Amino acid sequence: MNKKYTVVGLGEVLWDMLPGGKMLGGAPVNFAYHAAQLGATGVAISSVGNDDLGREIHNVVDEKEIVNCISVNLHPTGTVGVTLKDGIPDYTIYENVAWDFIELTDEAVANLKKADAVCFGTLAQRGKVSHKAILTALKLVPIKCLKVYDINLRQNYYSIDLIKESLENSNVFKINDEELEVFKQLFGLKGEEVEVCLNIMDTYSISYLALTKGDKGSYLFGKEEISFVDTPVVEVEDTIGAGDSFTSTMVMGILNQLPLRAIHEKAVQVSAFVCTQKGATPVLPEGLF
């Protein structure tokens, strides 16, 4: 690996309040953490409150060696209630929290201007302030930057207009099978999943599209190639953060110009390992990458 890539996670940061205690959460931070483990400079851009939970997030992010561009505001630090059924999480997401009011610090702007990849989702755009901050951030990145839209549909925090705008501002798209069904209904699309994915790529000029299907495998679509990989059979602890680790691994593979199949197989391996661990941000064993 000749270059140390700058890979940015942009959006919500929060505590997942699990039955066994709280764990750092939020897809963008999970993404940045795994990118850092895979050799990048991982950068987290979000906001927390001026409270104990916010100070704890700053400490944990620093410990995980993520570049900390998390600003502080007067709203409470975000928390999400998480219940698990057979390892599958169900989320209760609270509103009017700090990450609904993301402010781009000078350090955040500096990292965005040199970013090789930035990942953002739908959830953090539910409020006007963070929506504007994310759109501003996407305009700051270099022309060649991978702009990764992980759709990440939660509760009722999405709309056709928001999804369309996000796709128009991205060149890599990540979606799971349940979200694809919602997408099809929202946009009135017909056809099998491969046909729908190719339609999305063509409509929005997407260079790479990942469709994950839990234990039913996953697809990775490139400009001229489609890869399907079965999901390994593992003993699942929980699936929290597995998709984020898949996205990170995929992005690092694209940046390093690996063949599509190799990118896909590595992403599946990493996400399968994360499923065997508690929470979203386990340490990856060196042999995995």
pLDDT 10s digits, 11-20:
999 998 877 8
CB 189 within 8 A of CB 181: no
pLDDT tens digits along 104-152:
999 999 999 999 999 999 999 999 999 999 999 999 999 999 999 999 9
pLDDT tens digits along 158-198:
999 999 999 999 999 999 999 999 999 999 999 999 999 99
pLDDT above 90 coverage of the chain, percent? 77
Give Dmax over CA atoms of the chain in angstroms: 49
Range 6-279: architecture per CATH: 3-Layer(aba) Sandwich (3.40)
Q: What pLDDT sits at residue 82?
A: 78
* Mean pLDDT value across residues 200-209: 98
Q: Indicate the DSSP class of residue 145.
A: -
Residues 6+ positions from 81 with CB-CB distance below 8 Å: 17, 91, 92, 94
Looking at the predicted structure, is the pLDDT value of residue 91 above 50?
A: yes
* Mean pLDDT value across residues 85-112: 90
pLDDT above 70 coverage of the chain, percent? 98
